Amino acid sequence: MGALRTDFHPTMRKPIIAANWKMHKTPPETEDFLRDFLVLAQSGESVDIVIAPPFISLSAALAMITNRDHVRVSAQNMHFEPSGAYTGEISPLMLRTMHVSYVILGHSERRSIFGETDALINKKVLAAHHYHLKPILCVGETLEERDAGKLEEVLTTQLTGSLASVTADQMVGTVIAYEPVWAIGTGRTATAAQAQEAHALVRRIITGLYDPETARRVRIQYGGSVKPGNMGELMAQPDVDGALVGGASLESGSFWEIVRAAAEANTVKLSAPILPAGN
Ligand code: PGA
């Protein structure tokens, strides 16, 4: 018999594993990846799989995954206006028209390299919901902030700012990606205990902004050097509901191993007895 769990109801949250390809893969490379990956992912219904190629490869991805409900396509960013004089930008309306399902918002690379603020990210989150795109909202602290004991402060500021005016219903349809900046692309993963602590904190902050029921239903992904070898241990944590994967998502076999490891760890998690919250 597994440990009694009092703090969550795992059956409410379907794991979600997303591939963040960043500035990698042309349309032909996207087709090559998906040709292999979709053979592997024929039966992945227990996990939501999301592929986020660069804008120019969205069409190629969408054309290949039609009629596969458990694999969805995401953009990596967008503007908040539906159209206008914004040279170089892509709008939520454009993404919706193409049948893109998700959009990654507020990634730390957008924040640090392109100067995105919580106020700007908030406009994008609201616009995403308006156009029925599901946001994957990224939050996370730098090593300096962690070492200075500011984890809670940073996550509270980012979540409060990015989620302003988001309704409880919209919140449930928002995926949070907790990505410690020091673990992104560095090969240095947070330990499972560090991930669980931060995820529980994120859920606590959402409880404060909304209510316990809303917070219990929000899916929180971990991101930062996720690999086939560490996915299982991360996913076994009660508040870890999936992963946002960069480097290890670029190769179809390795990304599929991550999806499988998440599905297996979640099956074990589901077998733990559940007590109603508050007991
Ligand atoms: P990584 O990137 O898996 O390469 O660390 C994760 C991310 O930035 O989303």
Determine the pLDDT at residue 11. 56
**CA angle (7, 134, 163) in 5-degree steps:** 65
* pTM score: 0.94
* Residue 56, H or E segment: none
Determine the pLDDT at residue 273. 67
Number of domains in the chain: 1
Domain-embedded: residue 141:
yes
Ligand 1 nearest atom to the CA of residue 247, by list position: 4
Domain-embedded: residue 276:
no
Reply yes or no on whether 179 is catalytic: yes
Distance CA 236, CA 127 (A): 33
Mean residue pLDDT of the chain comes to 93
* pLDDT at residue 119 is higher than 60: yes
Residue 233 contacts residue 190 (beta carbons within 8 Å): no
Ligand 1, from 16, 17, 20: best to mutate by most atoms within 8 Å of Cβ? Answer: 20
CA distances from 88 to 55, 81, 102, 167, 240 (A): 11, 13, 20, 30, 35
Pick the range with the lowest mean pLDDT from 4-13, 226-235, 250-259. 4-13
Determine the pLDDT at residue 4. 47
Domain-embedded: residue 149:
yes
Domain-embedded: residue 29:
no
Domain-embedded: residue 184:
yes
Domain-embedded: residue 99:
yes
Determine the pLDDT at residue 185. 85
Per-residue pLDDT of 40-89, as tens digits, reads 998 767 899 999 999 999 999 999 997 677 899 999 999 999 999 999 99
User: E-assigned strands of 79-133?
Assistant: 102-105
Query: Looking at the DSSP assignment, which residues form a beta bridge with residue 117?
Result: none
Any idea which residue has 């989620």 for tokens? Answer: 163
* pLDDT at residue 232 is higher than 80: yes
Distance CA 49, CA 64 (A): 14
Ligand 1, from 77, 226, 230: best to mutate by most atoms within 8 Å of Cβ? Answer: 226
- Find the CATH number of the domain harbouring 243: 3.20.20.70
Q: Ligand 1 pocket by C-beta < 6 Å: which residues?
A: 20, 179, 184-185, 223-226, 244-248
Catalytic residue, from 107, 116, 129, 199: name it.
107
Q: Which residues contact 37 (CB under 8 A, 6 or more apart)?
A: 252, 255, 256
CA 50 – ligand 1 centroid, Å: 14
Domain-embedded: residue 39:
no
* pLDDT at residue 276 is higher than 80: no
Question: 131 is in which domain, residue-wise?
Answer: 12-21+45-270
CA 249 – ligand 1 centroid, Å: 9
Amino acid at 129: H
Per-residue pLDDT of 169-203, as tens digits, reads 999 999 999 999 999 888 888 899 999 999 999 99
Confidence of residue 279 (pLDDT cuts 50, 70, 90): very low
Determine the pLDDT at residue 230. 96
Reply yes or no on whether 107 is catalytic: yes
Q: Which of 90, 41, 91 is nearest to 68 (CA)?
A: 41
Confidence of residue 269 (pLDDT cuts 50, 70, 90): confident
Pick the range with the lowest mean pLDDT from 91-100, 122-131, 199-208, 262-271. 262-271
Confidence of residue 235 (pLDDT cuts 50, 70, 90): very high
CB-neighbour burial class of residue 235 (10 A; exposed 0-12, middle 13-18, buried 19+): buried
Domain-embedded: residue 279:
no
Determine the pLDDT at residue 274. 61
